[in-house]
Structure 1
Amino acid sequence: MEEVLQFGGFLLMDYAAMVVYAKRAVRYSKSLLDAQKPENSAAFYGASLLFLWMVVFSGLPVIVIFLFLYSALLLYFLLFFGNGLPVALFASGTFMFHIADLYMLLFGIFSLNCDICSMKVFRGNYRYLVLVLLVILVSTICLEIFSRVIDQAAIQILIGNKRQLRFAATSLMFIDIYLLILSVVYDSSTYTGLILMFLVVTAVLLVGAFYTSFLHAVRMSVLERYESEFKDMESQLEQSNRSLGKLKDEAYTDVLTGAASRRYGLLKLDRMVQERKQFSVALIDLDGLKKVNDNLGHQEGDRYLVGVSHALSGFFGAKYVCRLGGDEFLAILPDKTEQEAAVLMEEACRNMEEAFRSQDMAFGPSVSYGIAQFDLLGAGSVSGLLELADRRMYEMKRKRHKMRQ
């Protein structure tokens, strides 16, 4: 009677432990995978009772029980989760490995300590229920440790990496097949100490093999994700640099004439002033632009601006000529004194006239300019330099106006 009560008590504990493990396993699976159907509590109770009956009362070989469990797990992940076959193989293989490996490990230890020599005698005894209870409890503990120690985000990255997922699932399948082959030993007529020690040692080694392949797949998946993200960031950075370069070009280039912009010219002057270099500037104003616009139209006025800009850029160099705005241009003359700059400007005007004649322009170019030398200002500034050049430019305009009168 006492033995019957022990058997019934352990049977109830096995059933309760199996329900708890099933619920935790499903909850953990749902936290990682995309569940397609809601949780059904009745399914846990029925499945747990069916599996417990198969393990304890059916008398089926262990390999058959494991094959049934593996098939049920695979079908469960295929039906209730929408992640595809590789994920189902990986998930079912992981659960199957822990259950089968722990069973083999604890079976070996239990049989050595209790002097069990036959599965037939073992299954008819309450001690077999103790073994089943230990397997379920240790499986539950391992599941909790696994969920807390292994980075769940890294597992999700592995699930999203098809190549590494196939590697992990294939490795698991080979390990599980090996465990299934070894399970034939459980049903042998007699056990020897050597066989049981072999099962214990093999179970420990298989844990190492499983986690080595599993962690390798996880690390490679994370590494590939980082490499992919780095390449994306690198591509975005290159795109940003190209966009920045384009914006910079637009900011430093005058849209109409193609000459350097006012911003570029002022920045260049600031840099040259800070470096205390000797240079001169020529502030150039187009004479008669309003007359061209009024008489011939703004299109011809634009041609006038473009023609002067191209002539000046061709003579002084594109990076030394900028349009300040309207009909004003600035020419920067490095290492030139005012006298040298004046000679160059006269030559530039002659070059401009020849360029306009070769293009059959309906009008000739006429510019007024003022020249200023930086080193004559001592500790001067860019604004002071341009102000001096501007005054001299208007002096030339006034003189020309008086001569025409």
Structure 2
Amino acid sequence: MTPDQIENAVAAEMPRAVEELTRLAAIPSVAFPGHPEEPVYAAAAMTEELLRSTGLPHVRQIPIEGSFPAVYGEAPAPPGAPTVLLYAHYDVQPAGDPALWRTPAFEPTFADGALFGRGVADDKSGVIAHVLALRSFQGRFPVGVKVLIEGQEEYAGERLEEFVQRNPELVRADAIVVADTGNPSVGDSSVTTSLRGLAAFTVEVRTLAGSVHSGSFGGAAPDALTALIRILASLHDDNGDIRVPGLPRGVFLGSGPSEEEFRATAGVLDGVSLMGTGPLADRLWASYAITVTGLDVPTVQGAINAVQPVARARVTVRVPPSGDPKTAMNDVVEHLGHAAPWGVTLSVTDVVLGSGFQADTGGRARSALNRAMQRAFGRAPRDIGSGGSIPLVSTLVKQFPAAEILLFGAEDDGAAIHAPNERLVIEELRRAATAEALFLADYGDC
């Protein structure tokens, strides 16, 4: 197929694809403990249906021990052609507080050229981008194709990695396209060349056998919540830089956003300073970051006049590509223990670890992608980093060191992934799918 034919084929399929994305995003496929499992299986079933519609001759669900099924598709390579693995995931983050959404999280709503709803960007847009790209070839693929759509990436995604390690031939490929990232801004053609790793854990403080009246015991009884607040506050200095020993700052060899761009994208309020010092690219993509992502304490509405006996926090550590997540977690936990007041002890549970990634940017597949993105976006892509982690990527790097791993997609930094009012710009989906299809054709001809 010519580039013009590919572009026209993707454009012709866009109305159908948007309708399918709307249906897929309406399924609340939250694979976290405590959420219903039926919607996750329903999303797997629809993903299987979508892959079958692309002309792939072999599509099936693969059970993953201790997790939800992966959806797998395959087409053999034409003689002499390389094989490409396409990855995405169909599970999503929880919606969070419904009051913060302008439209219901699982009732996707179209407005101003964008689709709003949980998962429309992260990462059901990746699923649909693969489907769009593959449909453009009408079953006559220029490369060997393998598709792996995961069902539990957002929560403790190590189970699929274990499966891949035991079944390497199933996913062996010359190039791997990971459609779970995107551009810094809409239309800003970019390829993610580094990912920070992840260490997440729950820390608990206990001080009393049970809650006691704050009027009778406050002032002497050790308050677990106050202790936890003091412990967590010790993680950063007054500038917002990390105070934990053993977590050095890194350097990103590329350009990052300006402070004005970052403030606008992140929605930083006027008069509020950014955390940390040094170049933004270093802070966002090459250095450690520590975030408290949740607290288990009484709500303000449910508060009573009592000294709290127990308090918990979820702590997430973002780890530079060269760092070791387990070592970083141990350093943070040791620091928290030293900061604990009044002799209280800490316990740590529910640990999740994920390694980072640094790409080789000079291969044949990357050259083909550069040409494809130049045509689809009207500008050659630049290299960027990502503060996020994708658990499977580090496993693929170790399993297939010769394979080129390419991270790009339809998300952008303004898509509010993991946050209320997540959105996907439909034109960005078209460009990302077009770039993927053009890449497959170009790479097959190399």
By percentage of residues, which structure has more strand?
2
Relative contact order, CA 8 A, sep 6+: which one is greater? Answer: 2
TM-score, structure 1 as length reference? 0.18
TM-score, structure 2 as length reference? 0.17
By percentage of residues, which structure has more helix?
1
Larger radius of gyration: 1
